[in-house]
């Protein structure tokens, strides 16, 4: 039976339960969500001058291209990711262990770098054509600079999201369910279609959702291939048409598109339970040996995404790098790498620190609404970088004008010439990346240890530093490194919000390609890939240790 409380009693309880941690949580969430408030606030300001032009001539193009890209990239990512995950989880074959790790590596190559490499390989005058001529087969090339080329490049660089989520589900399938199916005489093929795939489908769609978010976020590859998507449209509306208001309207449409995708993902997951007992037994004990025909077929199917998604692009980049090794390996290059690393480290530190606050402050507040408020601050990951960039340009403009009008203070140079805006943008975009593993780990650790420290007279802050953070060390480091990887690879936000003097490896690679000096982007790209690969290796090791 519910307790009936008068309004006065409720108000009293509300005041009693509102402590400094509730107020701090609200303040942090409000600050982080400035980009969201900006979109909503600017919608009421009406459309910009160029809206009719954009709506009449470009919007259909943005919509149709984005739609075709989403569908095509999604299907290809499923085709690259799901079969490989199935075979690796259920069969024993040569190089299985190596491929198990190698299939994640394409994530280390940003899609814009992948797009340069593929044009260099298959495009007109590319490596394939040169090789054909050298071997006497004649020139041969594949036109990559179209929507199909972009679709392929995006899918081969993003399929690891699908692979990772399918792999977890396929390898954790209950051994007893599998054995029951065998005893019922169900073939392995039928087991895949009727049981394994339906059970894994929510996780697979979860991975697919991340792929689609990245497709909408992509700027570099679409721009290089000359395909008009929402993200390139937002950039163009602001930079070429100089209409910020219309750019924000486009951003709003893009956010609506993301929300629709999110609802579809949620509807597919539904309320069914797909958790099976007897976790991970199958992966070790029940993998099947394969026949002679499959001995060739399965390794090829599994190796193909790695070859296309990593080996070939890296070979192409390596080939280009040999031409520019001496001219590029200079102090300038070292300085750019240092800036890249510095900004990624600072952004990761800030993101992990804010994450810790957002994980713990609501726990220290008896107010329940603070816990649901946190979800709002982690939506940045599903909002494309271009949208965040544009909204931050708009909101910072508002602050700069307000300070000038109200207090006569000119703070523009502080905002635009420093790193503040860019670091804030990274925080908003990548907060969920750090929040999810740290929150999950803290839930696993539970509240009893902290509560028992409180009962021993320790304050919340002392308990946090003496008990909770030491126990969360591995997830804090993982969260830091995952944000680090994302910031190192990030392009659209950095491009929009970086101070004039700042150079990062990602920006430098993009600038070379934008200047039609794509081969010169190779060394920068390879260094970036190397750093990301090494970091991914540490993250994998840490997560294995945690298990």
**Residues of this chain that bind another protein (CB under 8 A):** 1-3, 5, 9, 12-13, 15-17, 366, 448-449, 451-460, 466-467, 470-471
From the CB of 466, what's the least distance to another protein, in Å? 8
State the burial class of residue 187 (Cβ atoms within 10 Å of its Cβ: 0-12, 13-18, 19+): exposed
From the CB of 30, what's the least distance to another protein, in Å? 25
Nearer to another protein, 6 or 544 (CB): 6
Nearer to another protein, 5 or 530 (CB): 5
Look at residues 344, 71, 32, 388 and name the one whose alpha carbon lies nearest to residue 235: 388
From the CB of 451, what's the least distance to another protein, in Å? 5
From the CB of 13, what's the least distance to another protein, in Å? 6
Query: In angstroms, rounded to a whole number, what is the distance separating the alpha carbons of residues 148 and 72?
Result: 8
From the CB of 454, what's the least distance to another protein, in Å? 4
From the CB of 477, what's the least distance to another protein, in Å? 15
From the CB of 22, what's the least distance to another protein, in Å? 12
Nearer to another protein, 1 or 240 (CB): 1
Look at residues 188, 161, 195, 191 and name the one whose alpha carbon lies nearest to residue 85: 161
Nearer to another protein, 13 or 329 (CB): 13
Give the SS3 label for residue 457.
coil
From the CB of 353, what's the least distance to another protein, in Å? 22
Give the SS3 label for residue 92.
strand
Nearer to another protein, 297 or 366 (CB): 366
Look at residues 218, 245, 222 and name the one whose alpha carbon lies nearest to residue 393: 245
From the CB of 5, what's the least distance to another protein, in Å? 7
Query: In angstroms, rounded to a whole number, what is the distance separating the alpha carbons of residues 294 and 91?
Result: 10
Tokens of 459: 């304050």
* Alpha helices per DSSP H over 270-368: 281-285, 292-306, 312-328, 331-360
From the CB of 440, what's the least distance to another protein, in Å? 18
Q: Can you say how many angstroms the Cα of residue 46 is from the centroid of all Cα atoms in its chain?
A: 32
From the CB of 438, what's the least distance to another protein, in Å? 17
Nearer to another protein, 96 or 458 (CB): 458
Nearer to another protein, 183 or 456 (CB): 456
**Cβ pair 122, 139 in contact under 8 A:** no
Nearer to another protein, 147 or 356 (CB): 356
Nearer to another protein, 470 or 499 (CB): 470
Cα 197 to Cα 75, 86, 204: the distances in Å are 15, 9, 9
Provide the 10 A C-beta neighbour count for residue 5. Answer: 11
Query: In angstroms, rounded to a whole number, what is the distance separating the alpha carbons of residues 353 and 347?
Result: 10
Those residues with Cβ within 8 angstroms of residue 512's Cβ, 6 or more apart along the chain or in another chain: 518, 520, 521, 524
Query: In angstroms, rounded to a whole number, what is the distance separating the alpha carbons of residues 256 and 386?
Result: 15
Nearer to another protein, 2 or 183 (CB): 2
Cross-strand pairs, 91: 288
DSSP label of 288: E
Query: In angstroms, rounded to a whole number, what is the distance separating the alpha carbons of residues 94 and 295?
Result: 8
Those residues with Cβ within 8 angstroms of residue 43's Cβ, 6 or more apart along the chain or in another chain: 248, 249, 252
Query: In angstroms, rounded to a whole number, what is the distance separating the alpha carbons of residues 116 and 221?
Result: 8
From the CB of 371, what's the least distance to another protein, in Å? 13
Q: Which helix (H) or strand (E) holds 205?
A: helix 197-217
Nearer to another protein, 14 or 323 (CB): 14
**Cβ pair 313, 113 in contact under 8 A:** yes
Cross-strand pairs, 92: 289
Query: In angstroms, rounded to a whole number, what is the distance separating the alpha carbons of residues 418 and 412?
Result: 10
Nearer to another protein, 187 or 459 (CB): 459
Those residues with Cβ within 8 angstroms of residue 317's Cβ, 6 or more apart along the chain or in another chain: 113, 117, 522, 525, 526, 529
From the CB of 26, what's the least distance to another protein, in Å? 19
Nearer to another protein, 16 or 401 (CB): 16
């Amino acid at each position: 039976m519910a307790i009936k409380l008068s309004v006065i009693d409720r108000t009293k309880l509300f005041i009693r339960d509102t402590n400094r941690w509730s107020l701090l949580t609200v303040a942090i969430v409000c600050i982080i969500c400035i980009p969201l408030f900006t979109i909503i606030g600017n919608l009421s300001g009406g459309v910009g001058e160029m809206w009719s032009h954009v709506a009449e001539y470009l919007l259909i193009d943005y919509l149709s291209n984005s739609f075709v890209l989403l569908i095509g990239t999604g299907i290809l990512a499923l085709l690259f990711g799901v079969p490989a995950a199935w075979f690796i989880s259920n069969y024993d074959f040569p190089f299985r262990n190596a491929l198990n790790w190698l299939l994640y590596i394409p994530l280390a190559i940003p899609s814009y770098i992948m797009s340069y490499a593929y044009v260099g390989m298959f495009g007109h005058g590319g490596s394939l054509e040169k090789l054909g001529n050298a071997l006497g087969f004649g020139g041969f090339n594949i036109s990559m600079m179209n929507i199909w080329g972009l679709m392929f490049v995006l899918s081969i660089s993003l399929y690891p999201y699908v692979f990772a989520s399918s792999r977890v589900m396929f390898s954790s399938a209950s051994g007893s369910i599998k054995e029951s199916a065998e005893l019922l005489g169900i073939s392995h093929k039928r087991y895949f279609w009727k049981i394994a795939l339906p059970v894994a489908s929510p996780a697979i769609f979860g991975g697919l959702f991340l792929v689609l978010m990245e497709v909408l976020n992509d700027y570099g590859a679409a721009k290089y291939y000359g395909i008009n998507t929402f993200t390139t449209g937002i950039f163009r509306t602001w930079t070429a048409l100089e209409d910020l208001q219309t750019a924000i309207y486009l951003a709003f449409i893009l956010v609506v598109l993301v929300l629709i995708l999110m609802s579809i993902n949620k509807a597919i997951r539904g309320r069914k339970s797909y958790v099976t007992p007897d976790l991970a037994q199958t992966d070790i004990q029940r993998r099947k040996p394969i026949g002679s025909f499959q001995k060739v077929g399965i390794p090829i199917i599994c190796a193909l995404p790695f070859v296309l998604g990593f080996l070939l692009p890296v070979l192409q980049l390596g080939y280009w790098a040999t031409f520019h090794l001496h001219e590029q390996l200079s102090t300038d290059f070292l300085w750019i790498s240092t800036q890249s690393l510095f900004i990624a480290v600072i952004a990761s530190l800030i993101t992990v620190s804010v994450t810790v606050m957002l994980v713990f402050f609501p726990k220290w507040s008896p107010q329940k609404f603070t816990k649901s408020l946190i979800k709002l601050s982690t939506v940045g990951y599903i909002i494309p970088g271009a949208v965040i960039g544009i909204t931050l340009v708009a909101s910072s403009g508002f602050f700069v004008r307000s300070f000038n009008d109200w207090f006569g203070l000119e703070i523009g140079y502080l905002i635009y010439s420093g790193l503040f805006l860019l670091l804030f943008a990274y925080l908003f975009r990548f907060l969920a990346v750090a929040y999810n593993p740290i929150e999950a780990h803290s839930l696993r650790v539970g509240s009893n240890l902290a509560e028992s420290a409180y009962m021993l007279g320790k304050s919340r802050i002392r308990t946090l530093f003496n008990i909770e953070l030491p126990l969360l060390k591995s997830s804090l480091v993982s969260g830091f490194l995952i944000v680090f990887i994302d910031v190192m690879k990030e392009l659209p936000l950095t491009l929009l919000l970086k101070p004039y003097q700042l150079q990062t490896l990602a920006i430098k690679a993009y600038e070379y390609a934008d200047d039609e000096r794509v081969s010169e982007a190779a060394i920068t790209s390879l260094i970036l890939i190397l750093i990301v690969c090494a970091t991914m290796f540490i993250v994998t090791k840490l997560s294995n240790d945690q298990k």
